[in-house]
Every structure is written in structure tokens, then in C-alpha cells.
Homo-oligomer: A and B are copies of this chain.
Amino acid sequence: MAGPKNPPFLNGVPELLVLQCLRERPMYGYELVQAIRAATGEHVVLAEGVVYPVLHMLEREGALSTERQTVNGRSRIYYALTEQGGTRLADLADTWRQLTTVIAGVLGEPRHA
């Protein structure tokens, strides 16, 4: 119940992290959940209920392609970045960088001009 709870302002961040992780290599959902957890050093922990819907949405919009595989009798759905997904990632990352830079400026600016 009393989980660590993610910070309350990560709008679009799940999508960003999913795309970025898939840029490295194709992965399946369950794997992604842990990859994100690991990549952010536990700072961002996305439950499956967050990741799967994002995956479905990105596939529906053509950013990801899927391939079913069965490993050890277990069915996995591997998601891979499409070309369109690459573009989407680039755009998203760009916007993110811009935003954080701007806010860092506001936060850092010590006093009035």
C-alpha cells in the first residue's frame, strides 16, 4: 500500500522512457517495466498498468511494431521501434530537453536582473 509513489509531474514521461528504452533493443512489456526501473535507479517505477496501455497506444499509432515469440512455453510480445517511432522519440526528447532547460533557468536565476 505505502509504496514510494512517483513524483506527481511526469506527464508524457512514461512514453518517453518506453521509446528511449526500445531504441536500445526490442523488448517485451514485462521486461520494459524492469528496464525502466533499473535505468532510472528506482527513481521512476512504472507499474504494468501504466506501461501496457502506453505500448498499445504507441503500436496503434505506428510508433512500434510487434512480434510474438514463445520462450519456455511463455508467450512474449516484443515491441520494436519503427522509423516513425524514432522520429517520435526524437521530437519528444527534444521538447523535454527544451522544457527542462527553461525551467532550470527559472529555478536557477538567483535574483532580479
Contacts and interface: CB of A to CB of B under 8 A. Distances in A.
B106 A17 contact: yes
A100 interface: yes
Nearest to A43: B102
| A-side interface size class | 20 to 34
A96 interface: yes
B95 A107 contact: no
A103 B13 contact: yes
Given A8-B11, A12-B8, A96 B107 contact: yes
A108 to B, nearest CB: 10
A44 B102 contact: yes
25 contacts: A7-B12, A7-B98, A7-B99, A8-B12, A9-B9, A9-B10, A9-B12, A10-B99, A13-B99, A13-B103, A16-B103, A16-B107, A24-B111, A24-B112, A39-B106, A39-B109, A40-B102, A40-B105, A43-B98, A43-B99, A44-B99, A44-B102, A96-B103, A97-B104, A100-B104
